[in-house]
Amino acid sequence: RKIQLTLLGCGGVGRQLLRHIVSTRKLHQISLFESNAQGLRVAVMAVVDSKSIFLGEKNEELDDAALLEICLAKEKNNQMPAFLMDDHTTFFLVYPMVVADCTASIKIGQALAEMADLDCCIVLANKKPLTSSFKVYDRIAALNRRYRCESTVGAAMPVIATLNRLLNSGDSIKKIVGALSGTLGFVMSRLEYGESFSDIVRQAKELGYTEPDPRDDLGGMDVARKVKPLATIPYSLSLVGFLLVTCCLKVECLHPPSLAPKLMSTTQFLNEGLAELDLPMRNRVKEAAARGCVLRYVKLSLTKNLSFAYSCKVGIVEQPQQSALGQLHGSDNLVEIFTRCYSTSPLVIKGAGAGNDTTAAGVLADVLDLQDYFG
């Protein structure tokens, strides 16, 4: 089998995905089910970013050497070597294909919707297309089993897959509680050791935990967007995503309006604006510690009440130090799922929730999960 893949976005996650594809060649060539089969190959047909499109010669796949060269060139100076440049000015899809969105752009949603109309399979690491508009969401969600978005919630943690299994077995979701931001989990847990808020955020960006603009994380909307992919799960949450994200979701922003992207560049925010947040955050940490608690962001509490309405809050909460959330450290995510079957003792999913390597691994797993659509 050959999965023909188009990669959108060649940033940290996109480059790591290309490296994963190259490094797992031998693993995928071996068929686990048929001794005489040739196994599986992920063929990267194109790498597309905001500045360029790179295609293999004569509609052939880009070879492994070219993929690694793209990664190296992008890391060094964001320029591609001449032998990989192509004269194509229009990119169009010739074959059945998986399109992997590893961008951080909300504008890509319309393009993905058009690709969905061409019967492409779509894999998302980028949460924003699912929250860009109802029309885009509907067209992508209409692909049903031909699209995957596991890495939009908890990096490679199997949150959506687990919920699907529960719902398909006839269970019902009562409540979902957890910390879904590996970036802010890292920041909050480091505050306990006395480090300044601004230094920790800059460290998180250097480690690849944050979005390109850390205010996407600090504003809380990156976490809020993670609610919307849950709405793609059949039966129980189909009404939740639209309502919560648009009107019923309460989000605490960790920076004031004066530091908003419209008023301050990312560089200026990192070098100057962040320092304004140090003292207020230090005071909140001390107040929580005096009560035997720690700060955690975010406690996403998705609760179904007696009238079958859902409520959801995203923000900083105080948690006892010995609680499950209180003991969460680093960039790990934690999700507690309360259902009919797991009513008193919730199903807990915990693991790394941020980082290019982890997210890219989740994207590759989603791509491989679509192999049955390819001969």
226 included as an active-site residue: yes
With helix as H, strand as E and coil as C, how does the chain read? CEEEEEEECCCHHHHHHHHHHHHCHHHHHCCCCCCCCCCCEEEEEEEECCCCEEECHHHCCCCHHHHHHHHHHHHHCCCCCHHHCCCCCCCCCCCCCEEEECCCCCCCHHHHHHHHHCCCEEEECCCCHHHHCHHHHHHHHCCHHHEECHHHCCCCCCHHHHHHHHHHCCCCEEEEEEECCHHHHHHHHHHCCCCCHHHHHHHHHHCCCCCCCCHHHHCCHHHHHCHHHHCCCCCCCCCHHHHHHHHHEEECCCCCHHHCCCCCCHHHHHHCHHHHHHHHHHHHHHHHHHCCEEEECCCEEEEECCCCCEEEEECCEEEECCCCCCCCCCCEEEEEEEECCCCCCCEEEEEECCCHHHHHHHHHHHHHCCHHHCC
Of the listed 74, 226, 228, 299, which one is catalytic? 226
Q: Which residues are catalytic?
A: 226
